[in-house]
């Protein structure tokens, strides 16, 4: 453990020079008259619209800086090293452990007393867990991301299924049946580049991923059997092994080369916009279950940066962004799922047959393991899984190797 954090500190030290030359002297530096907010990816393009509403309501001027996800991690390390940066920062849920350990985020205990909207009980449990470490809360859940099953209702009916598959056995059965429709036809897409998929199915089969002593158990029966189950779709031809080079409009429309896939909320709009000819012929459903139907839970949080100058205004901004009505506006702008549970009482979500399913699934969704090394572990898993479904490697042998690799990663 000491070695792990020593490496983090070394990384921070190495970027101090860049910090002094860049962040500290640029217009990125905190302006004591302006609330500086760092946001990443596509969200940063839409956030100024909500920031204007916040400015009208509070009189607090907001500057939103857009940072590409590819650059965000290094830029945050630079800000920590130079003890400068924004007042409010967007944090990917899997980044939380690293920056909490680096002392970069404020404990929100005093803010919650002043702004009850920030209380963890207002959010889905899975989302709240991504903000909590050592009995302290370091962020508020901003938006959520979970996975559900998308399927063509009409094509499943032709296969004698008038409902979405509810169990692993049903999913396997209907996928294989659908793949028999003809050449180059499949039942289910298993995305080998989706890093959470294997861990999600492992949990559904009862695997804790890590035991009570935080040792990986990826080579134990529950996880190995889950990987074997996923691989079975490739083995029997139910899932395509290679990227078909087609978008959803081509694989999901018409006769549907792939009539079932697992994906997130952004795909609802994508299907509606790009495949209008199947309106009324598709639906979303909660994931099929084995021991459970646990889905993954991702998204992003908002935190008060330790070295910001406007901490009280930052608290007001987090309060505003946590209001159910604000989160509904955010969903309209970005198709991101609200994390505030009261948002889901609104008819916009309750009455939508697609988004309603996401709300049901979020009640049974957990974040990926909240450890700094998870991103590296996930990348290693995807390489291991490719060796299995594409290279024909033995599942148990490959998971033994993967488990050893995870142990090595954790000891760095």
If we measure between CA atoms, which residue out of 198, 186, 196 comes closest to residue 231? Answer: 198
Cα–Cα distances in angstroms (integers) from residue 8 to residues 1, 2, 19, 142, 388, in the given order: 11, 10, 16, 26, 33
Q: Are 374 and 94 in contact (CB under 8 A)?
A: yes
Cα–Cα distances in angstroms (integers) from residue 7 to residues 11, 92, 272, 370, 412, in the given order: 6, 21, 46, 18, 8
Instruction: Look at residue 32 in the predicted model and tell me its pLDDT.
Output: 55
CA distance 180 to 409: 42
Q: How is residue 156 written in tokens? A: 């499943």
This prediction's pTM:
0.85
Q: How is residue 300 written in tokens? A: 């992003």
Please state the separation of Cα 195 from the chain's center in Å.
10
Three-class SS state of 29 = coil
Instruction: Look at residue 388 in the predicted model and tell me its pLDDT.
Output: 97
pLDDT by residue, tens only, the chain of 412 residues? 444 444 454 444 434 444 443 444 444 444 557 999 999 988 888 999 999 999 999 999 999 999 998 899 899 999 999 999 999 999 989 889 999 999 999 999 999 989 999 999 999 999 999 999 999 999 999 999 999 999 999 999 999 999 999 999 999 999 999 999 999 999 999 998 888 999 999 999 999 999 999 999 999 999 999 999 999 999 999 999 987 767 877 899 999 999 999 999 989 988 999 999 999 999 999 999 999 999 999 899 999 999 999 999 999 999 999 999 999 999 988 888 999 999 999 988 888 899 899 999 998 999 999 998 998 999 999 999 999 999 999 999 999 999 999 999 999 8
Q: How is residue 170 written in tokens? A: 């049903």
Q: Which helix (H) or strand (E) segment is 149 a member of?
A: strand 148-152
Backbone angles phi, psi at 146, to 5 degrees: -135, 175
Instruction: Look at residue 79 in the predicted model and tell me its pLDDT.
Output: 94
Please state the separation of Cα 32 from the chain's center in Å.
33
If we measure between CA atoms, which residue out of 203, 192, 204, 228 comes closest to residue 399? Answer: 228
End-to-end CA distance of the chain: 8
* Residue reference for tokens 């008060």: 304
Instruction: Look at residue 245 in the predicted model and tell me its pLDDT.
Output: 67
Instruction: Look at residue 372 in the predicted model and tell me its pLDDT.
Output: 86
Instruction: Look at residue 412 in the predicted model and tell me its pLDDT.
Output: 81
If we measure between CA atoms, which residue out of 41, 91, 189, 127 comes closest to residue 359? Answer: 127
């Amino acid at each position: 453990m000491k070695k792990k954090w020593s490496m983090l500190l070394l990384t921070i030290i190495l970027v101090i020079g860049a910090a002094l030359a860049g962040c500290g002297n640029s217009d990125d530096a905190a302006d004591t008259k302006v609330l500086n907010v760092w946001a990443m990816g596509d969200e940063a393009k839409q956030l100024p619209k909500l920031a204007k509403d916040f400015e009208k309501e509070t009189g607090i001027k907001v500057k939103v800086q857009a940072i590409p996800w590819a650059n965000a991690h290094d830029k945050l390390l630079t800000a920590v090293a130079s003890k400068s940066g924004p007042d409010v920062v967007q944090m990917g849920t899997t980044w939380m452990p690293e920056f909490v350990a680096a002392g970069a985020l404020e404990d929100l205990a005093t803010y919650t007393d002043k702004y009850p909207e920030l209380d963890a009980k207002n959010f889905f449990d899975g989302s709240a867990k991504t903000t909590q470490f050592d009995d302290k809360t370091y962020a508020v859940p901003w938006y959520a991301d979970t996975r559900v099953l998308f399927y063509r209702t009409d094509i499943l009916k032709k296969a004698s299924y008038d409902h979405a598959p509810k169990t692993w056995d049903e999913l396997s059965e209907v996928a294989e049946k659908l793949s028999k429709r003809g050449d180059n036809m499949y039942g289910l897409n298993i995305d080998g580049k989706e890093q959470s998929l294997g861990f999600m199915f492992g949990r559904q089969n009862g695997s804790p991923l890590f035991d009570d002593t935080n040792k990986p158990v990826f080579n134990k029966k529950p996880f190995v059997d889950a990987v074997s189950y996923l691989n079975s779709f490739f083995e029997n031809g139910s899932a395509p092994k290679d990227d078909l080079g087609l978008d959803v409009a081509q694989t999901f429309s018409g006769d549907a080369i792939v009539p079932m896939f697992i994906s997130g909320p952004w795909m609802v709009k994508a299907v509606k916009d790009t495949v209008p000819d199947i309106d009324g012929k598709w639906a979303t459903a909660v994931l099929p279950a084995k021991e459970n139907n646990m889905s993954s839970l991702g998204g992003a949080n908002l935190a008060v940066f330790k070295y910001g100058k406007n901490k009280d205004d930052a608290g007001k901004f987090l309060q505003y962004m946590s209001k159910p009505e604000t989160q509904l506006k955010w969903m309209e702008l970005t198709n991101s799922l609200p994390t505030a549970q009261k948002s889901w009482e609104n008819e916009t979500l309750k009455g939508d047959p697609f988004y309603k399913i996401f709300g049901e699934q979020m009640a049974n969704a957990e974040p990926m393991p909240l450890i700094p090394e998870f991103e590296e572990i996930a990348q290693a898993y995807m390489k291991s899984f490719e060796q299995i479904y594409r290279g024909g490697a033995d599942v148990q042998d490959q998971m033994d190797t993967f488990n050893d690799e995870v142990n090595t990663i954790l000891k760095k």
